[in-house]
A and B are shown apart, each in its own frame.
Chain A
């Protein structure tokens, strides 16, 4: 099935560093989302973006909806050990029966304490 191009696949960083990851698509979406998934759990929504060019923050997280509607990035500032996990981008086109999400393959974040 279709998946978005997400990079990097994994990253190791020192506690306190900033992190950046991005996601691109060949298709336009009208919503971009970022999720975090811990081992043995389902994805949990971090940030939702609804307008092209939109920049949204949630605590130490900042995400932007690309102007072309085909890309998004997520920044995490001053990383801490609990940021460890897998981060997924997802695109959605809702309306009618199309509520499903298209996910990227994930960015695995590991933090060295």
Chain B
């Protein structure tokens, strides 16, 4: 597609519920990143894929967070047993390489845990 597409745009989850957030990167982009942006903060790195391989998951805050990109295109970020501190905007970005010049962010999914 023309840009990075994320769905849903908004998600309200009850505490303890599992959620799945989807990212459709720009076609042909090898690198895919997930970031978490809390209210009033800058985005913070969660995890990085190169094609289907998850090369860095050092930013995932707990084992309740899991990301996959099984065919090297669409990626899903799953959060199990959501907690209030998980409320944030989750941004996906894709890039043709690793340099920042080709790094394109999606509009994000705003997750609110009540």
Q: Which residues of A contact B (CB under 8 A)?
A: 1, 3-4, 6, 31, 33, 40-45, 48, 88, 90, 92, 94-95, 97-106
Stretch in B11-19, B41-49, B67-75, B79-87 with 4+ CB within 8 Å of A? B41-49
CB-CB under 8 A from B66, the residues of chain A are none
A3–B44 CA distance with the chains assembled, in angstroms = 8
Whether B100 contacts A95 by the Cβ 8 Å rule is no
Besides the contacts A1-B45, A3-B41, A33-B100, what 17 more A-B pairs have beta carbons closer than 8 Å? A1-B44, A1-B59, A3-B42, A3-B44, A4-B42, A31-B99, A43-B91, A45-B103, A94-B98, A97-B48, A99-B31, A99-B48, A99-B98, A100-B45, A101-B43, A101-B45, A101-B100
Could you mark each residue 53-75 of chain B with 1 if its beta carbon is under 8 Å from any beta carbon of chain A, else 0?
A: 00110010000000000000000
A90–B108 CA distance with the chains assembled, in angstroms = 18
Say yes or no: A42-B107 contact (C-beta < 8 A), given A98-B56, A99-B48, A100-B59: yes
Does B88 lie at the interface of the complex (its beta carbon under 8 Å from any beta carbon of A)?
Answer: no
Interface size on B, as a range, is 20 to 34
Q: Which residues of B contact A (CB under 8 A)?
A: 4, 31, 33, 35, 40-45, 48, 50, 55-56, 59, 91, 93, 95, 98-101, 103, 105-108
* Distance of A27 from chain B, by nearest CB (Å): 14
Whether B4 contacts A42 by the Cβ 8 Å rule is yes
| 19 cross-chain CB contacts under 8 A | A1-B59, A6-B42, A42-B91, A42-B106, A43-B43, A43-B105, A48-B100, A88-B42, A90-B100, A94-B98, A95-B98, A97-B48, A99-B33, A99-B95, A100-B33, A100-B48, A104-B42, A105-B40, A106-B40
Whether A103 contacts B107 by the Cβ 8 Å rule is no
